[in-house]
Protein backbone atom coordinates (compact mmCIF):
# COMPACT_ATOMS: atom_id res chain seq x y z
CA UNK A 1 0.00 0.00 0.00
CA UNK A 2 1.36 3.39 -1.04
CA UNK A 3 1.82 5.98 1.64
CA UNK A 4 0.12 9.35 1.12
CA UNK A 5 2.50 12.14 0.13
CA UNK A 6 4.04 13.95 3.03
CA UNK A 7 3.10 17.51 3.82
CA UNK A 8 6.58 18.52 2.64
CA UNK A 9 6.02 16.86 -0.78
CA UNK A 10 2.60 18.43 -1.15
CA UNK A 11 3.99 21.85 -0.33
CA UNK A 12 6.65 21.34 -2.99
CA UNK A 13 3.97 20.45 -5.56
CA UNK A 14 1.87 23.50 -4.68
CA UNK A 15 4.88 25.75 -5.20
CA UNK A 16 5.53 24.16 -8.59
CA UNK A 17 1.95 24.86 -9.69
CA UNK A 18 2.29 28.50 -8.68
CA UNK A 19 5.70 28.80 -10.34
CA UNK A 20 4.10 27.83 -13.66
CA UNK A 21 1.77 30.83 -13.36
CA UNK A 22 4.16 33.50 -12.14
CA UNK A 23 4.67 35.50 -15.36
CA UNK A 24 2.97 36.19 -18.65
CA UNK A 25 5.77 34.48 -20.54
CA UNK A 26 5.60 31.28 -18.50
CA UNK A 27 1.80 31.21 -18.54
CA UNK A 28 1.95 31.48 -22.33
CA UNK A 29 4.41 28.58 -22.55
CA UNK A 30 2.09 26.20 -20.71
CA UNK A 31 -1.28 27.38 -22.07
CA UNK A 32 -3.18 24.32 -23.32
CA UNK A 33 -5.83 25.77 -25.66
CA UNK A 34 -5.87 28.72 -28.03
CA UNK A 35 -8.30 30.80 -30.04
CA UNK A 36 -7.25 31.55 -33.61
CA UNK A 37 -9.18 33.54 -36.20
CA UNK A 38 -9.07 30.84 -38.86
CA UNK A 39 -11.03 28.49 -36.57
CA UNK A 40 -13.90 30.96 -36.16
CA UNK A 41 -16.89 30.87 -38.51
CA UNK A 42 -19.08 33.95 -38.89
CA UNK A 43 -22.81 33.32 -39.37
CA UNK A 44 -24.22 35.99 -41.71
CA UNK A 45 -27.74 37.03 -42.70
CA UNK A 46 -28.38 38.01 -46.32
CA UNK A 47 -31.47 39.81 -47.65
CA UNK A 48 -32.81 41.08 -50.98
CA UNK A 49 -32.12 44.52 -52.41
CA UNK A 50 -29.13 46.80 -52.73
CA UNK A 51 -27.18 48.87 -50.22
CA UNK A 52 -29.28 47.56 -47.35
CA UNK A 53 -28.16 47.13 -43.75
CA UNK A 54 -30.74 46.21 -41.10
CA UNK A 55 -29.61 46.11 -37.49
CA UNK A 56 -30.99 43.20 -35.45
CA UNK A 57 -32.31 44.64 -32.20
CA UNK A 58 -31.90 41.43 -30.18
CA UNK A 59 -28.32 40.84 -31.40
CA UNK A 60 -26.22 43.94 -30.66
CA UNK A 61 -23.61 44.55 -33.35
CA UNK A 62 -25.18 42.11 -35.83
CA UNK A 63 -27.07 43.12 -38.99
CA UNK A 64 -28.73 41.72 -42.09
CA UNK A 65 -27.03 42.70 -45.37
CA UNK A 66 -27.95 42.85 -49.02
CA UNK A 67 -25.50 40.98 -51.23
CA UNK A 68 -23.46 44.05 -52.27
CA UNK A 69 -22.88 45.08 -48.65
CA UNK A 70 -22.37 41.47 -47.58
CA UNK A 71 -19.40 41.16 -49.93
CA UNK A 72 -17.71 44.14 -48.26
CA UNK A 73 -18.32 42.62 -44.84
CA UNK A 74 -16.89 39.26 -45.89
CA UNK A 75 -13.78 40.92 -47.32
CA UNK A 76 -13.31 42.62 -43.95
CA UNK A 77 -13.64 39.27 -42.18
CA UNK A 78 -11.12 37.69 -44.50
CA UNK A 79 -8.62 40.47 -43.80
CA UNK A 80 -9.03 39.73 -40.07
CA UNK A 81 -8.02 36.11 -40.65
CA UNK A 82 -11.48 34.52 -40.70
CA UNK A 83 -11.63 31.90 -43.42
CA UNK A 84 -15.23 30.62 -43.24
CA UNK A 85 -18.74 32.06 -43.13
CA UNK A 86 -22.17 30.44 -42.80
CA UNK A 87 -25.01 32.00 -44.81
CA UNK A 88 -28.64 32.33 -43.73
CA UNK A 89 -31.21 33.86 -46.12
CA UNK A 90 -33.86 36.30 -44.91
CA UNK A 91 -36.89 35.57 -47.08
CA UNK A 92 -39.70 38.12 -47.41
CA UNK A 93 -43.16 37.05 -46.25
CA UNK A 94 -44.68 37.17 -49.74
CA UNK A 95 -42.19 34.55 -50.96
CA UNK A 96 -42.98 32.06 -48.19
CA UNK A 97 -45.47 29.22 -48.60
CA UNK A 98 -46.25 25.88 -46.91
CA UNK A 99 -43.89 24.01 -49.26
CA UNK A 100 -40.96 26.41 -48.99
CA UNK A 101 -40.99 26.66 -52.79
CA UNK A 102 -38.48 29.53 -52.86
CA UNK A 103 -35.86 27.19 -51.41
CA UNK A 104 -35.55 25.22 -54.67
CA UNK A 105 -36.12 28.06 -57.11
CA UNK A 106 -33.23 28.50 -59.54
CA UNK A 107 -31.54 31.85 -58.99
CA UNK A 108 -32.98 32.42 -55.52
CA UNK A 109 -31.39 34.70 -52.94
CA UNK A 110 -29.12 32.04 -51.49
CA UNK A 111 -27.81 30.91 -54.84
CA UNK A 112 -27.09 34.47 -55.98
CA UNK A 113 -25.37 35.32 -52.70
CA UNK A 114 -23.07 32.29 -52.94
CA UNK A 115 -22.18 33.01 -56.57
CA UNK A 116 -21.36 36.66 -55.85
CA UNK A 117 -19.29 35.81 -52.78
CA UNK A 118 -17.27 33.10 -54.51
CA UNK A 119 -16.60 35.43 -57.45
CA UNK A 120 -15.46 38.24 -55.15
CA UNK A 121 -13.54 36.18 -52.54
CA UNK A 122 -12.90 32.70 -53.94
CA UNK A 123 -10.57 31.82 -51.05
CA UNK A 124 -13.33 32.20 -48.44
CA UNK A 125 -15.02 28.97 -47.38
CA UNK A 126 -18.75 29.50 -47.87
CA UNK A 127 -21.06 27.33 -45.81
CA UNK A 128 -24.77 27.27 -46.63
CA UNK A 129 -27.51 26.55 -44.14
CA UNK A 130 -29.96 23.97 -45.50
CA UNK A 131 -33.36 23.88 -43.79
CA UNK A 132 -36.88 24.95 -44.72
CA UNK A 133 -37.72 27.25 -41.80
CA UNK A 134 -36.59 30.47 -43.56
CA UNK A 135 -38.80 29.60 -46.55
CA UNK A 136 -41.99 28.16 -45.06
CA UNK A 137 -44.88 30.31 -43.90
CA UNK A 138 -45.32 28.05 -40.86
CA UNK A 139 -41.68 28.38 -39.75
CA UNK A 140 -40.87 24.69 -39.41
CA UNK A 141 -37.77 22.99 -40.80
CA UNK A 142 -39.78 20.41 -42.73
CA UNK A 143 -42.97 19.94 -44.68
CA UNK A 144 -46.16 19.37 -42.70
CA UNK A 145 -49.17 17.13 -43.29
CA UNK A 146 -52.86 17.92 -42.81
CA UNK A 147 -52.57 17.17 -39.10
CA UNK A 148 -49.67 19.62 -38.68
CA UNK A 149 -47.05 16.89 -38.26
CA UNK A 150 -43.57 17.21 -39.75
CA UNK A 151 -43.14 14.69 -42.56
CA UNK A 152 -39.61 13.37 -42.88
CA UNK A 153 -39.04 11.69 -46.25
CA UNK A 154 -40.76 14.27 -48.54
CA UNK A 155 -38.66 16.92 -46.77
CA UNK A 156 -35.47 15.05 -47.67
CA UNK A 157 -36.22 15.50 -51.37
CA UNK A 158 -36.36 19.27 -50.98
CA UNK A 159 -33.26 19.41 -48.78
CA UNK A 160 -31.34 17.46 -51.43
CA UNK A 161 -32.43 19.88 -54.16
CA UNK A 162 -31.45 22.85 -51.98
CA UNK A 163 -28.03 21.30 -51.42
CA UNK A 164 -27.39 20.69 -55.12
CA UNK A 165 -28.44 24.27 -55.95
CA UNK A 166 -26.00 25.60 -53.33
CA UNK A 167 -23.21 23.38 -54.64
CA UNK A 168 -23.86 24.52 -58.21
CA UNK A 169 -23.54 28.13 -57.02
CA UNK A 170 -20.13 27.34 -55.54
CA UNK A 171 -20.82 26.51 -51.88
CA UNK A 172 -17.94 24.72 -50.19
CA UNK A 173 -19.92 23.22 -47.30
CA UNK A 174 -23.56 22.18 -46.99
CA UNK A 175 -24.85 22.57 -43.43
CA UNK A 176 -28.21 20.82 -42.98
CA UNK A 177 -29.71 22.18 -39.76
CA UNK A 178 -33.18 20.68 -40.20
CA UNK A 179 -32.66 17.53 -38.09
CA UNK A 180 -34.69 15.24 -40.35
CA UNK A 181 -33.74 11.58 -40.05
CA UNK A 182 -31.43 10.30 -42.76
CA UNK A 183 -30.81 13.66 -44.39
CA UNK A 184 -27.01 13.47 -44.35
CA UNK A 185 -26.90 10.26 -46.38
CA UNK A 186 -29.66 11.49 -48.70
CA UNK A 187 -27.85 14.79 -49.36
CA UNK A 188 -24.50 13.04 -49.80
CA UNK A 189 -25.96 10.80 -52.47
CA UNK A 190 -27.64 13.73 -54.24
CA UNK A 191 -24.41 15.75 -54.25
CA UNK A 192 -22.38 12.82 -55.53
CA UNK A 193 -24.91 12.02 -58.25
CA UNK A 194 -24.75 15.65 -59.39
CA UNK A 195 -20.94 15.52 -59.59
CA UNK A 196 -20.28 17.50 -56.39
CA UNK A 197 -18.22 14.86 -54.65
CA UNK A 198 -15.82 17.47 -53.26
CA UNK A 199 -18.49 19.48 -51.40
CA UNK A 200 -18.39 18.92 -47.62
CA UNK A 201 -21.34 18.26 -45.33
CA UNK A 202 -21.33 19.76 -41.85
CA UNK A 203 -24.08 17.87 -40.05
CA UNK A 204 -25.96 19.47 -37.22
CA UNK A 205 -25.33 16.22 -35.42
CA UNK A 206 -26.66 17.17 -31.99
CA UNK A 207 -29.00 20.14 -32.29
CA UNK A 208 -31.08 20.64 -29.17
CA UNK A 209 -34.58 22.10 -28.82
CA UNK A 210 -33.12 25.10 -27.04
CA UNK A 211 -34.54 28.33 -25.65
CA UNK A 212 -31.34 30.09 -26.76
CA UNK A 213 -32.46 30.46 -30.41
CA UNK A 214 -34.83 33.40 -29.85
CA UNK A 215 -32.68 36.23 -31.27
CA UNK A 216 -31.77 34.09 -34.31
CA UNK A 217 -35.42 33.48 -35.11
CA UNK A 218 -36.08 37.20 -34.93
CA UNK A 219 -33.13 37.85 -37.25
CA UNK A 220 -34.36 35.28 -39.75
CA UNK A 221 -38.07 35.99 -39.15
CA UNK A 222 -38.56 32.23 -38.90
CA UNK A 223 -40.23 31.52 -35.55
CA UNK A 224 -42.69 28.61 -35.86
CA UNK A 225 -46.29 29.75 -36.21
CA UNK A 226 -47.59 26.77 -34.27
CA UNK A 227 -46.24 24.12 -31.92
CA UNK A 228 -42.52 23.71 -31.34
CA UNK A 229 -39.58 21.77 -32.77
CA UNK A 230 -39.30 19.11 -30.09
CA UNK A 231 -40.30 16.24 -32.39
CA UNK A 232 -37.16 16.68 -34.49
CA UNK A 233 -34.68 18.56 -32.28
CA UNK A 234 -33.09 16.90 -29.25
CA UNK A 235 -34.25 16.93 -25.65
CA UNK A 236 -31.96 19.22 -23.59
CA UNK A 237 -32.01 16.66 -20.77
CA UNK A 238 -30.33 13.94 -22.89
CA UNK A 239 -26.70 13.38 -23.81
CA UNK A 240 -26.91 9.75 -24.99
CA UNK A 241 -29.47 10.82 -27.58
CA UNK A 242 -26.95 13.34 -28.89
CA UNK A 243 -24.31 10.63 -29.25
CA UNK A 244 -26.73 8.37 -31.13
CA UNK A 245 -27.64 11.17 -33.56
CA UNK A 246 -23.96 11.96 -34.06
CA UNK A 247 -23.05 8.34 -34.82
CA UNK A 248 -25.83 8.17 -37.41
CA UNK A 249 -24.57 11.31 -39.17
CA UNK A 250 -20.99 10.02 -39.15
CA UNK A 251 -22.08 6.71 -40.66
CA UNK A 252 -24.10 8.54 -43.34
CA UNK A 253 -21.04 10.45 -44.54
CA UNK A 254 -20.81 13.73 -42.62
CA UNK A 255 -17.42 15.45 -42.89
CA UNK A 256 -17.86 17.68 -39.82
CA UNK A 257 -20.09 17.18 -36.76
CA UNK A 258 -21.73 20.22 -35.18
CA UNK A 259 -23.18 20.57 -31.67
CA UNK A 260 -25.70 23.36 -31.06
CA UNK A 261 -25.92 25.26 -28.71
CA UNK A 262 -22.40 25.24 -27.36
CA UNK A 263 -22.06 26.65 -23.84
CA UNK A 264 -24.97 24.75 -22.32
CA UNK A 265 -23.81 21.53 -23.98
CA UNK A 266 -20.08 21.46 -23.27
CA UNK A 267 -20.50 17.99 -21.78
CA UNK A 268 -21.98 16.76 -25.06
CA UNK A 269 -19.08 18.26 -27.02
CA UNK A 270 -16.63 16.54 -24.68
CA UNK A 271 -18.35 13.15 -24.95
CA UNK A 272 -18.58 13.34 -28.73
CA UNK A 273 -14.91 14.33 -28.91
CA UNK A 274 -14.06 11.11 -27.08
CA UNK A 275 -15.94 8.89 -29.55
CA UNK A 276 -15.03 10.32 -32.97
CA UNK A 277 -12.01 11.35 -35.01
CA UNK A 278 -14.04 13.66 -37.26
CA UNK A 279 -13.65 17.42 -36.86
CA UNK A 280 -16.14 18.84 -34.36
CA UNK A 281 -17.81 22.23 -34.71
CA UNK A 282 -19.81 24.00 -32.03
CA UNK A 283 -22.36 26.77 -32.54
CA UNK A 284 -22.14 29.60 -30.01
CA UNK A 285 -25.73 30.58 -30.69
CA UNK A 286 -27.61 33.87 -30.76
CA UNK A 287 -28.91 33.70 -27.19
CA UNK A 288 -25.47 32.88 -25.83
CA UNK A 289 -23.98 35.80 -27.75
CA UNK A 290 -26.78 38.26 -26.96
CA UNK A 291 -26.67 37.58 -23.21
CA UNK A 292 -23.03 38.67 -23.20
CA UNK A 293 -23.71 41.82 -25.17
CA UNK A 294 -26.83 42.76 -23.19
CA UNK A 295 -25.02 42.37 -19.87
CA UNK A 296 -22.10 44.41 -21.22
CA UNK A 297 -24.47 47.20 -22.26
CA UNK A 298 -25.66 47.31 -18.64
CA UNK A 299 -22.05 47.61 -17.49
CA UNK A 300 -22.22 44.34 -15.59
CA UNK A 301 -19.45 42.50 -17.45
CA UNK A 302 -16.58 43.10 -19.84
CA UNK A 303 -17.89 41.87 -23.22
CA UNK A 304 -14.46 41.12 -24.68
CA UNK A 305 -13.24 39.10 -21.71
CA UNK A 306 -16.48 37.14 -21.33
CA UNK A 307 -16.69 36.43 -25.06
CA UNK A 308 -13.10 35.16 -25.09
CA UNK A 309 -13.63 33.05 -21.97
CA UNK A 310 -16.82 31.58 -23.45
CA UNK A 311 -15.14 30.65 -26.71
CA UNK A 312 -12.06 29.14 -25.07
CA UNK A 313 -14.32 26.96 -22.93
CA UNK A 314 -15.83 25.57 -26.15
CA UNK A 315 -12.36 24.81 -27.50
CA UNK A 316 -11.37 23.26 -24.18
CA UNK A 317 -14.37 20.95 -24.34
CA UNK A 318 -13.08 19.57 -27.65
CA UNK A 319 -14.41 21.67 -30.53
CA UNK A 320 -12.08 22.15 -33.48
CA UNK A 321 -13.85 25.25 -34.77
CA UNK A 322 -16.63 27.54 -33.57
CA UNK A 323 -19.53 29.30 -35.26
CA UNK A 324 -20.11 32.52 -33.35
CA UNK A 325 -21.70 35.93 -33.89
CA UNK A 326 -18.69 37.25 -32.02
CA UNK A 327 -16.29 36.05 -34.74
CA UNK A 328 -15.42 39.51 -36.04
CA UNK A 329 -15.06 40.99 -32.56
CA UNK A 330 -12.86 38.11 -31.41
CA UNK A 331 -10.73 38.25 -34.56
CA UNK A 332 -10.13 41.95 -33.99
CA UNK A 333 -8.98 41.20 -30.44
CA UNK A 334 -6.68 38.43 -31.63
CA UNK A 335 -5.17 40.73 -34.23
CA UNK A 336 -4.30 43.13 -31.41
CA UNK A 337 -2.52 40.32 -29.57
CA UNK A 338 -5.25 39.19 -27.21
CA UNK A 339 -4.26 36.38 -24.90
CA UNK A 340 -5.27 34.74 -21.63
CA UNK A 341 -1.80 34.70 -20.14
Q: Can 76 be counted among the known catalytic residues?
A: no
Of 95, 96, 229, 260, the catalytic one is 260
Pairing of strands 173-176, 200-207: parallel
Alpha-helical segments (H) within the chain: 7-19, 24-29, 67-79, 109-120, 152-169, 183-193, 214-220, 240-252, 266-275, 286-297, 303-317, 327-335
Of 96, 207, 229, 315, the catalytic one is 207
With CA atoms as reference, report the closest residue to 246 among 278, 213, 214: 278
CA distance 92 to 219: 12
Q: Find out whether 329 and 307 touch, Cβ atoms under 8 Å.
A: yes
Alpha-helical segments (H) within 176-213: 183-193
Q: Can 15 be counted among the known catalytic residues?
A: no
CA atoms within 13 A on the CB side of 286: 21
Q: Find out whether 248 and 203 touch, Cβ atoms under 8 Å.
A: no
Pairing of strands 256-260, 200-207: parallel
Which residues are part of the catalytic machinery? Answer: 207, 260
Amino acid sequence: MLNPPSLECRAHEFKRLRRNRRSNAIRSLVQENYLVSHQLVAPLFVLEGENRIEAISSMPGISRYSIDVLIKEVIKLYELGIRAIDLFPVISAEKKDPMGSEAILEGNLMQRAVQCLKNAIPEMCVMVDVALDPYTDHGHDGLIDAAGRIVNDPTLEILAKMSVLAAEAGADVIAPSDMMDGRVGFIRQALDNAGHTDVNIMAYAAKYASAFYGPFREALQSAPKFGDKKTYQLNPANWREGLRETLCDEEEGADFLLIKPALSYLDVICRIREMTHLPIAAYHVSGEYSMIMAAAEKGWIDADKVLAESLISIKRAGADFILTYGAERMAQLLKKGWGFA
